[in-house]
Chains A and B, each alone.
Chain A
Amino acid sequence: MSEFRVLGRHHRKIDAMDRMTGVERYTDDLTLPRMLHCKILRAPIAHGRILGIDTSAALAIPGVEAVITGADLPTPYGIIPWTPDEHALCFDKVRYVGDAVAAVAAVDEETANAAVAAIEVRYEKLPVLDDPHAALADHATLIHERRKPDGSLVTNNISKRVELSFGDLDAAFADAELVVEADYRFHGTTHTPIEPHCALAHADARGILTIWSATQVPHYLHRELAKVLGLPRNRIRVIQPALGGAFGGKSEPFDLEFCAALLSLRTGRPVKCLYTREEVFLAHRGRHPFDMHYRTAFDRDGTIRGVDARTVLDGGAYSSFGLVTTYYSGQLLCSPYRFGAYRFDSRRAYTNKPACGPKRGHGSVQPRFAIEVQLDKAAVALGIDPIELRRRNALTVGERTINEFAIGSYGFLDCLAEVERASGWTERRGKLPRGRGLGVAGSTYISGTNYCIYPTDLPQSGVQICLDRSGRVRVFSGTSDIGQGSSTMLAAVAAEELGVALEDVRVLAADTDLTPVDLGAYSSRITLMAGHACQRAAKDLAFKVRSAVATAWDCDRSDVVLAEGQAMRLSAPETAMPIAEAFVLAEVEFGTLGATGSYQTPREGVHGDYRGATIGASPAYSFTAHVAEVEVDEETGEVQVLQIWAAHDCGRALSPTLVKAQIEGSVYMGAAEAVMEHHHTMPSGLRADGKRRDPGPGVAGLLANSSLLDYRIPTALDTPDITAIIVEHPDPNGPYGAKEAGEGPLHPAIPAIANAIFDAVGVRIDALPITPEKVLAALRARTEAR
């Protein structure tokens, strides 16, 4: 049986009933006396210079309290400190349809809308670049006018380029048994959280600016607000209320937070800004479209000799996390398989479209699609079972990947075995009825990154815990619970260490005035990092409580355990006292009971020394394998994803129910991206026959589907059956061995579905999404070729 009493057991989220009964308060549920409403004017052209803005008519409308433009917020910002290329409101240029130009605060939303409509902006239109390849080839039309250190203009639209090479690639390809070479396309998707972005700002009479925001990075928002507003950080307080989903779409500052803040400072009144659904789609920061050219060399037995990847990333109008995305597009590919040699060249282009950024599985879902289909093609060509081919390329614990990431635990082989068993792979594959097929894919992901976004030696996560005489435990943490359950994780760790019931732990999270810093909910870092910090603080307090009880019982401290709401004597279990009494004894002895814990990543021996070696390096890596079963209708080309078996190595499942929920949610999202979701701009002009024509004025760069009707996410009826399987290979760097579970389980869904389609009907769809028209065209091409 488990060595734990709370961890590893099934429990519900601590906020589940508040959410289910509708009493949870999200940002838009908050109202303050005299609150104003903010609306933002957005550019109706994809690229142009702002020649002038006339706000006089807007200001003349009764009920309009303030209007601001780019000149009021001139300091650029960006989530990555090296690429601050955004302004809260544009003041020189607009770079996509939807770029923010002005903001108003008015007594109600109708008045604010009317005021926005009354603002007049004169633009000089510039050529629109809506294609990344065209943008990379263009040296005249510059989306960003950047200067080199010597002052000269950067005459290209390259947002970031990363070229890295490991091992002797030419030798790897020179005498390979098989080289698989193909082009892959990932199409671009967005997060679609049900809760739109929302911010409420209140500059109060004490001189404190408080921002409640639907963000997943309160700490970074805190820093950027201070920078852009020119206020000291100790006068800004960021609070993240309950969040209705984020998935990476709220992991950087957005225009509405700066606008609400400045408008509150200007008016002295609280100001709220709530995005429309369209604005959520425009704010985007979703998964980049990737064009990937892959060459992979294999030995006769399926051993991967070398991988050569060339990738163009369509970045949209701003950098966002793009520097990291560009690294991740290559760096996260080197596990769970051993590569003999590896080279990647990734270029991220600026384009006049909504900016791309991090979405669940940041930067590595797209290349994962390419490599896992490459492996499937090799398995077919070499006559090796696709699961067996993956086994033959497994890494080992203690090994370093070709790009020098240290692998501290490795449950991938068990993940493969689990999905092989659960799906009936061996018995069923090749014997399914016509049109049905099975496909497999694997993946890896990070449990946080070794380095913070900005250079610092400060801890990545801090937790403070206080014990109350009533027997309650209070946990203060800067972590963002975005629905993944991080507050429940903290409560479970505290309950485990301090012997209290889960319900007796109160978690106060994500308030920069009250909680120690945690960097936020991104890169799947919280369980590993905040889990460690919480464990340390809780152990510190448990030590004091057990010492005090030992004194009272006149026994050795090691004879006292805290469990199930009591302090108990191990050698004489009939000797026990309620935990509240134990806390009282400790408080008498030590004074008010509080402790802190913090976590900093290991810095030695976890990555290489080359430039960029730290980006993508993590204290611990998770592993996943999927088998997908599909049914292809050969008359319509339609693909039904019937079932996905997903096995995920999360090190140790601290809350198994939540881990399974993360696996299920990930599989849902991945399957949706494979066959349905597509965030895209209008084709640059359509003729009646559907073929492209020259872009009409104002058409290029126009987001085609900025509503929940037209951006199609699967309904319950469209969702495959999902079997979530937990695999536990504890990692020495994880708290209790725990690794991530929120992002990794998404990756294999897409290639597993693509590979299953090949198994079903013998066609490859290498350009996502896998739509009926593509499948039908491929089936016809195959028939004609025969």
Chain B
Amino acid sequence: MLRLRPLTLHRPTSLAEAIALKSEYGTDATYFAGGTDLLPNLKLLQVDAQVLIALADVAELRGIEAVDDDGGSTLHLGAATRLSTLAADPVVRSLVPSLADAAGRVASPQVRNMATLGGNLCLDTRCRYINQSQLFRDALGGCLKSHGKECHVVPGGQGCVAALSTDTAPLLIALGAELDLLGPDGPRSVPLGRFYSTDGLAHTDLRPGEIVVRVRVPVPAASTHVRNRKWAVRKSIDFPLVAVAVRLDLDPAAPVLTGGRIVVGVLGPRPRQLPLDRFAGASIDEALALQLGDLAFDRSRPLPNVPYDADYRRERLRVEVRRAVRDIAASLEG
């Protein structure tokens, strides 16, 4: 069995205390929410931390609330909300059922009972050359993300292209979610759609010491239809090999497209956003399903970074987009 190396654990009870601890320990410390991503990475010596700052006792990070504002309502989700809570919460299920569905498809029931929404959005990037044992990485000679100089996914590549394998980010980007962050320099907000970068080594916009406090999700209007699709080999446990969200904004008066977007995950470190403005006026039908599937296929190039055939993942992405559109079309008829 792999051992967790000896660590110091702090259990702050407020955000201020947590941030102060992080400032004190600097890069020796890391925040620790559900631990379902962090602890395996620590055991495999992919992450080096001597101090864990647990967020479990920070009440400010919890809570699910629907807040009415001008023109609609917004779901405020504490970043430490467990994925199993999110999947089962009656408010979430009634206002943004696609989010409850996406949260309920992450990993396995045991993992969802521990994992948090904030943690799922801040998931480290993954790659078949990194998420391996130390023996493997030593034998390989490392890579850009682990004590090496060569990328094995893109030979000669200068940037790490490890994949963001979160189940929830593509959907939340499609929904227009924003993150409330708090750090040593105070609070700020950032749209999730601008939170990720293309650098697999530092793929989020988080500044040193910052914590994701809250996720704000605009509740979609009745004329907005969102579907989240995940494909993995197994029906439980696995990270997504294809993750895509399809958002179709319809004319409230007639079932034709006014806009929307497709957000594709598990490519590189940043989900790809494909606006659908040029399809405005289209009917929601099989022709659109095929067109949007082809769009996703043409504009996405899955890499051999996660452990599955990249060409198939691209084919599969096309089918998953089609099926999302078909599902929306069927719901309009029903």
Contacts and interface: CB of A to CB of B under 8 A. Distances in A.
B1 interface: yes
Interface residues of A, number: 48
Interface stretch (A312-320, A500-508, A711-719): A711-719
B237 A715 contact: yes
A773 interface: yes
Contacts of B131: 709-710
A110 B234 contact: no
Given A688-B304, A715-B236, A773-B312, A278 B133 contact: yes
B62 interface: no
B312 A712 contact: no
A57 B155 CA distance: 36
Contact of A772 (B139, B304, B307, B316): B316
Contacts of B304: 686, 688, 690
Interface stretch (A13-21, A177-185, A374-382, A696-704): A696-704
B151 to A, nearest CB: 9
Contact of A703 (B1, B136, B233, B237): B136
Contacts of B237: 709, 715
A712 B238 contact: yes
Nearest to B126: A709
Interface string A82-102: 000000000000000110000
A196 interface: yes
B235 A196 contact: no
Given A113-B3, A772-B316, A715 B235 contact: yes
A702 B136 contact: yes
A703 B140 CA distance: 11
Given A636-B316, A697-B141, A704-B128, A690 B236 contact: no
Contact of B152 (A196, A690, A696, A771): A696
Nearest to A711: B307
Given A277-B1, A690-B311, A698 B140 contact: yes
A110 B135 contact: no
B285 interface: no
A587 B41 CA distance: 64
A687 B155 contact: yes
Nearest to B157: A688
B58 interface: no
A712 B140 contact: no
Nearest to A708: B237
Contacts, number: 106
B1 A717 contact: no
Interface string B283-326: 00000000000000000000110010111100110010010000
Contacts of B319: 635-636
Contacts of A771: 309, 312
Interface string A705-742: 11101101011111000000000000000000000000
Contact of B139 (A635, A689, A698): A698
Nearest to B312: A773
A731 to B, nearest CB: 40
Interface in B171-204: none
B311 A278 contact: no
B149 interface: no
B135 A97 contact: yes
Interface residues of B, number: 40
Contacts of A717: 234-236
A773 B153 contact: no
B16 interface: no
A686 B151 CA distance: 10
Nearest to A693: B155
A44 B238 contact: no
Contacts of A676: 233-234
A196 B1 CA distance: 8
B132 interface: yes
A688 B312 contact: no
Contacts of A712: 233-234, 238
A44 B316 contact: no
B139 A702 contact: yes
Contact of A718 (B132, B133, B235): B235
Interface in B128-175: 128, 131-133, 135-136, 138-141, 150, 152-155, 157
Given A636-B316, A714-B234, A715-B234, A44 B135 contact: yes
B5 interface: yes
A46 B312 CA distance: 30
Given A676-B233, A773-B309, A773-B312, A686 B135 contact: no
Contacts of A470: none
Chain B CB within 10 Å, residue with most, of A46, A276, A688, A714: A688
A702 B2 contact: no
Nearest to A675: B233
Interface string A254-298: 000000000000000000001011100000000000000000000
Given A277-B2, A686-B153, A688-B304, A45 B128 contact: no
A536 B150 CA distance: 67
Given A709-B239, A715-B108, 8 more contacts: A46-B139, A97-B136, A113-B3, A635-B319, A688-B154, A690-B309, A702-B136, A773-B311
Interface of B: 1-3, 5-6, 108, 128, 131-133, 135-136, 138-141, 150, 152-155, 157, 233-239, 303-304, 307, 309-312, 315-316, 319, 322
Interface of A: 28, 42, 44-46, 97-98, 109-110, 113, 196, 274, 276-278, 635-637, 676, 685-690, 693, 696-699, 702-707, 709-710, 712, 714-718, 771-773, 776
16 contacts: A28-B1, A276-B2, A635-B322, A637-B312, A686-B304, A688-B304, A690-B309, A690-B310, A693-B155, A710-B131, A712-B234, A712-B238, A714-B234, A715-B108, A715-B234, A773-B311
**Nearest 6 CB-CB pairings of A with B:** A717-B235, A773-B312, A44-B139, A44-B138, A715-B236, A278-B133
